[in-house]
Structure 1
């Protein structure tokens, strides 16, 4: 099992990624960033460039929109892996029409067997209104189930709102 698993969740633009990056820095471990986003437009390209600059050169970045094994292979207990984010990862699988249950099982298994510390950023999507269309409702339900499964496996769960962390489970 990973030496420690931390889940950091919150709304969009809540400060969860910045909080997660700082949590990685505080470990003093080799920092590995698993980027799950895909770049389809200029806005996303600029956002990714900002994030790379913000993190600085002492991070190893692995870009893979689907496969946890890619990000976790060859990690050691001296490493910390930041998955940013589980919401994009889920979206990628949903759009590709992959089996979400199977992919979630693979992700959870990869986290469990990873020798490095793992920090996962994910969005809390269940605080809003019920979406008007079937795809959005399917996504919201899948995201809720994924967050529940991640939190069950985690040693620590932190909710970030307005840049402020609130520990829901365990300790930082």
Structure 2
């Protein structure tokens, strides 16, 4: 099956496009949700995302256990939304990012399900003024590079438009 990455900034349209891409696959669909509702704004955001999904979708809450959730989907296509929230959960919880990222890459390689992954590009803005912000930006960049190298297709999303991303091949 195919693996696809949608990478973009906040409110770029990447989640909507990823949802549409996943829904092109027949059969049941698994939505692997990494967000946690710690405040009212996040509760509203999660509610809006849930309202966008049809009855074909089964939601799996996996704020930390994303590799295990991917491995646990036995049928249908999978949508992961999103890697950067998962990374935030790992970092704020003091979990080993390198080891868990390796677990995630292994789960992606092992699945025979169609897999659509959403992640944020956070390295195109200003340098964060706080050490945790800089560490997050750096870890997100490393994770996004590793995931992009592991999937079949990557798309960069800006203003709801997509640009295909391809590996650089020097002449």
TM-score between the two structures when normalised by the length of structure 2: 0.93
* Map of 1:95 onto structure 2: 92
Checking the alignment, whether the CA contact within 8 Å between 2:68 and 2:107 is kept in structure 1 is no
Tell me the residue number matched to 2:47. Answer: 49
Compute the displacement of 1:143 (Å): 0.2
2:14 corresponds in structure 1 to: 16
CA distance in 1, matches of 2:41, 2:72: 32
Structure 2 counterpart of 1:149: 146
Q: Which residue of 2 aligns with 1:122?
A: 119
Bigger shift: residues 6-15 or 53-62: 53-62
RMSD over equivalenced CA pairs, Å: 1.4
Q: Name stretches of at least 5 consecutive residues in structure 2 with no aligned partner.
A: none
Matches within 5 A, 1:12-91: 12-76=10-74, 79-91=76-88
Alignment partners' CA distance in 2, 1:29 and 1:129:
43
Relative distance call for 1:133 and 1:20 in structure 2 (3 A) is same
Tell me how far apart the structure 2 counterparts of residues 29 and 155 of structure 1 sit (CA, whole Å).
21
* 1:4-23 Cα deviation digits (max 9, x unpaired): 11110000110000000000
Following the alignment from structure 2 to structure 1, what is the Cα–Cα distance between the partners of residues 42 and 59? 16
Once residues 166 and 99 of structure 1 are traced to their aligned partners in structure 2, the CA distance between those partners, rounded to angstroms, is: 32
How much has 1:67 moved relative to structure 2? 1.0
1:74 is displaced (CA, Å) by: 4.0
